[in-house]
Amino acid sequence: MGQSPTFMLKSQTEEDHEGLDQYFLSAWQGDSISLEYFLKQGMDVGRKNELGSSALKMASDHGHEDCVSILLKHGAGNNMSDVSNSVTAASTRGHASCLKLLLPHVVENRTLKGPLFESCTSGSVDCVRLLVEKGADVNARNNTGQTPLILACFFGHSGCAEYLISKEANLDLTDDRSNTALYYASTRGHIKCVEALVYSGADQTAGSPIPQKCGTADIAEFLQNDRQTVTNFVLK
């Protein structure tokens, strides 16, 4: 037979799996029954482990929607720092269901910048959509000048790129290396991103020159055809 919540409560401060006590282990493993029992018995919902992580962040990091819901019900959403860290964790891992629960507790939209970059890096369209709908800036820049669209195209996440384009992300912004989203999509061989950008009007001449032989043969041919189309239009 498994341990009852009462037994677990008696040893909840004893270190167990990877230094986690039973309370944090419940959040880490997604044991919502034990987690709620601890909270009803007076456990501090904002308590941190020795690494400074809360149960809310752990549950968000591992995609345990039920645990996130329980923790928020018991007041975890009142700590803006915990909410911010948990939003970042859910965005990084692509746990859209957890992110959806957390976002109503976000007070300042400027804190969504980092999570949006993480979602574009991991390729979670659902997380990107939730963050943008909440108010994240589609043209924000990170510390190297990259935009969410540049990151999505760098990693080849065409779904994220298409969504950002539909929300009027600037197609031709450059990062600190003077490279555009189209430059990265082309040189890294992500043809679906290239197509999405070009069909939406991305300027091949913006930023660093795109090598005529780049990425794959299909991409090189596609870009050449687009350049020829633009040239013919101008000549007319």
**What pTM, to 2 d.p., does this model score?**
0.85
Structure tokens of 145? 């000048």
Confidence of residue 119 (pLDDT cuts 50, 70, 90): very high
What domains are defined for the chain?
1-137 (1.25.40.20), 142-236 (1.25.40.20)
Q: DSSP readout, 1-67?
A: -PPPHHHHHHTTTS--GGG--HHHHHHHHT-HHHHHHHHHTT--TT-B-TTS-BHHHHHHHTT-HHH
Q: Within 13 Å, how many C-alpha atoms sit on residue 158's CB side?
A: 14
Q: What is the pLDDT of residue 110?
A: 87
Q: Which of 160, 231, 166, 227 is nearest to 192 (CA)?
A: 160
DSSP label at 206?
A: S
Dist CA 121 CA 45 (whole Å): 31
Mean pLDDT of the residues in the chain: 87
Confidence of residue 227 (pLDDT cuts 50, 70, 90): low
122-168 pLDDT, tens digit per residue, is 999 999 999 999 999 999 999 999 999 999 999 999 999 999 999 99
CA 111 to chain centre: 12
Q: Compute the radius of gyration of the chain from its Cα atoms.
A: 23
* 32 has a pLDDT exceeding 90: yes
58-112 pLDDT, tens digit per residue, is 999 999 999 999 999 999 999 999 999 999 999 999 999 999 999 999 988 889 9
Provide the β-strand partners of residue 54.
48
Task: For residue 118, give every residue at least 6 positions away whose Cβ sits within 8 Å of its Cβ, in sequence order, or none.
Answer: 88, 91, 92
Angle between helix axes 113-122 and 80-93 (nearest 10 degrees) is: 20
* 1 has a pLDDT exceeding 50: no
Contact 227, 202 (CB under 8 A): no
Dist CA 115 CA 94 (whole Å): 10
